[in-house]
Structure 1
Amino acid sequence: MTQHPTQSPQFFLTAPSPCPYIEGQFERKVFTHLVGEKAPELNDLLTQGGFRRSQNIAYRPACETCRACVSVRIRAEEFRPSKNMKRVTQKNADLIGAVHDAEPTTEQYSLFRAYLDARHRKGGMSDMTVLDYAMMVEDTHVDTKIIEYRRRGPDSFITGTGQGALIAVALSDTMADGLSMVYSFYDPAQEERSLGTYMILDHIARARTAGLPHVYLGYWVHGSQKMAYKIRFQPQEHLGPKGWERYEATDNGG
């Protein structure tokens, strides 16, 4: 009988459930737990293999009849913003992102609830309580940070923090080869700022500063309007049967 080391991860398969992206399809996921001192190393390995993290779970699609979900990562050093992205950066020049330990606050949850109610009222996260949110943020065994975006204050260049109301939040993991954007949300009343795009641009800048080659965006689903924004950040790499391969769209949104 073969003996396996007790530290080896065990993988499990979920039961089929309706796909949230493609009507008529059913999704299944393979998942494992990210716990203990080996969790950061395992998270790096699995993310590079197409997994995503949610709390202390790493998962990836394992659908029987569909391969539409494609893992995407931006090549940070080579990235060049489009004209529209430059305008987004200029529009949010009054904001600064302060990095904090992965600790939830009531202010974050209030913004999170407003975002879900406005943008994802029928989504799978729509009924998340304050306790659920706290678990999403702090149930991590890897290098996870919260970035809080506020307006710049007169002493922001010294403190690195903004002032006033919380405008946007990003939950991010730092790995050996990049930053992984786990989840982000923002004030839905400030739609004109294009804050979702801005936070991705900010993560690209942070990855460059840290000397990290990639920003992981999770899954892109061809034909899904919800996921269409991810393809605009060029150049990027897609994970396929031959590994990570460069992908450049002919139109990245101007």
Structure 2
Amino acid sequence: MQTERVRLFQTLPQACGYWSARTAVNLVLDPSLDGLAALYPQALAHGFRRAGPHLYRPNCPRCTACVACRIPLDAFRPDRSQRRCLSRNAALHWHDVEPGFSPERWALYQRYQRLRHPGGGMDDGTAEDFREFLATSWSPTRFLELRDGTRLLAVAVTDVGSAALSAVYTWFDPAEAARSLGTLAILQQIAYGRAHGLQHLYLGYWIAGHPKMDYKCRFRPLEVLGTQGWVAL
């Protein structure tokens, strides 16, 4: 990335969304830049992530816990637990649809936030927050919807680039915990990327030992971004 052509902004310290006793600082690419869509693939490769219209990367002065990670799609092989997950959910169907608001998606999202992430800051969001967080005018976003017949079980918000996918956010029916729908969503994104001839699935940030973020290391091989570039975990 030619950073001399792109302005970077640093946010003020804010409460960390992962460790309650820590503060967080992010670097954000200039949100007024017309070429964000063209820069997006390079930004992903440099450890950035999309939230709404913003491309950001953690830049905390005293913490390096958040590590950008991605799955090389051709090399991935599901483990026994992941194969059981696929078998258990074989009767369900995924649909590749346009992103956007619908009462059905919004109701499922609200229920997921209230029961899975109470007090996390997103459980009291508005419908407008929902719209702004998940897609923006320049992002190559698709919604992968999982249904049991006509009933919506999960939505995996997925940005689809020319060489890679980015798993932006997934929510699912909290009453279906036994189905491991979060794992199933990543497995579907892997299958979707392979079907489209893509190279990587970016999973955002892996945090070793974190109860909600350490699961990503179960998808092997997993590559992480360090000072020497991308290496196998």
TM-score normalised by the chain length of structure 1: 0.86
Report if aligned partners of 1:34, 1:141 keep a CA contact under 8 Å in 2. no
Alignment of 1:56-67 (within 5 A): 56-67=53-64
Instruction: Quote the Cα distance in structure 1 between the aligned partners of 2:74 and 2:227.
Output: 25
Which letter does structure 2 place at the counterpart of 1:188?
P
- Residue range with higher mean Cα deviation, 52-61 or 17-26: 17-26
Question: Could you tell me how far 1:40 is from its partner in structure 2?
Answer: 2.1
Aligned partner of 1:239 in structure 2 is 225
Instruction: Quote the Cα distance in structure 2 between the aligned partners of 1:33 and 1:197.
Output: 33
Specify whether residues 172 and 35 from structure 1 end up closer, same or farther in structure 2 by C-alpha distance, changes over 3 A only.
Answer: farther
Alignment of 1:160-179 (within 5 A): 163-179=149-165
Aligned partner of 1:121 in structure 2 is 118
Which letter does structure 1 place at the counterpart of 2:39?
L
* Deviations 1:159-200 (CA, angstroms, capped at 9, x unpaired): xxxx31110001110122211000000000000100000000
* Deviations 1:185-221 (CA, angstroms, capped at 9, x unpaired): 0000000100000000011111111111111100011
Question: Could you tell me how far 1:37 is from its partner in structure 2?
Answer: 5.6
Question: Could you tell me how far 1:124 is from its partner in structure 2?
Answer: 2.2
Aligned partner of 2:214 in structure 1 is 228
* Deviations 1:44-91 (CA, angstroms, capped at 9, x unpaired): 111110000011100010100111110010111111111110010011
1:185 to 151, 171, 175: 171
Instruction: Quote the Cα distance in structure 2 between the aligned partners of 1:83 and 1:76.
Output: 18
1:143 to 140, 143, 146: 140
1:112 is the counterpart of 2:109: yes
- Residue range with higher mean Cα deviation, 63-72 or 136-145: 136-145
CA RMSD of aligned residues (A): 1.7
Question: Could you tell me how far 1:120 is from its partner in structure 2?
Answer: 0.4
- In structure 1, the gaps of 5 or more residues are 152-162, 248-254
Question: Could you tell me how far 1:32 is from its partner in structure 2?
Answer: 1.9
Question: Could you tell me how far 1:144 is from its partner in structure 2?
Answer: 0.7
Question: Could you tell me how far 1:134 is from its partner in structure 2?
Answer: 1.6
- In structure 2, the gaps of 5 or more residues are none
- Residue range with higher mean Cα deviation, 209-218 or 35-44: 35-44
Specify whether residues 101 and 33 from structure 1 end up closer, same or farther in structure 2 by C-alpha distance, changes over 3 A only.
Answer: farther
TM-score normalised by the chain length of structure 2: 0.94
Instruction: Quote the Cα distance in structure 2 between the aligned partners of 1:145 and 1:213.
Output: 17
Report if aligned partners of 1:55, 1:140 keep a CA contact under 8 Å in 2. no
Report if aligned partners of 1:35, 1:141 keep a CA contact under 8 Å in 2. no
Report if aligned partners of 1:46, 1:58 keep a CA contact under 8 Å in 2. yes
Aligned partner of 1:18 in structure 2 is 15
Instruction: Quote the Cα distance in structure 1 between the aligned partners of 2:87 and 2:136.
Output: 35
% identity of equivalent residues: 36
The alignment partner of 1:226 has SS state of coil
Larger Rg: 1
The alignment partner of 1:225 has SS state of coil
1:51 to 48, 51, 67: 48
Instruction: Quote the Cα distance in structure 1 between the aligned partners of 2:192 and 2:142.
Output: 13
Report if aligned partners of 1:220, 1:231 keep a CA contact under 8 Å in 2. yes
Aligned partner of 2:92 in structure 1 is 95
Specify whether residues 33 and 103 from structure 1 end up closer, same or farther in structure 2 by C-alpha distance, changes over 3 A only.
Answer: farther
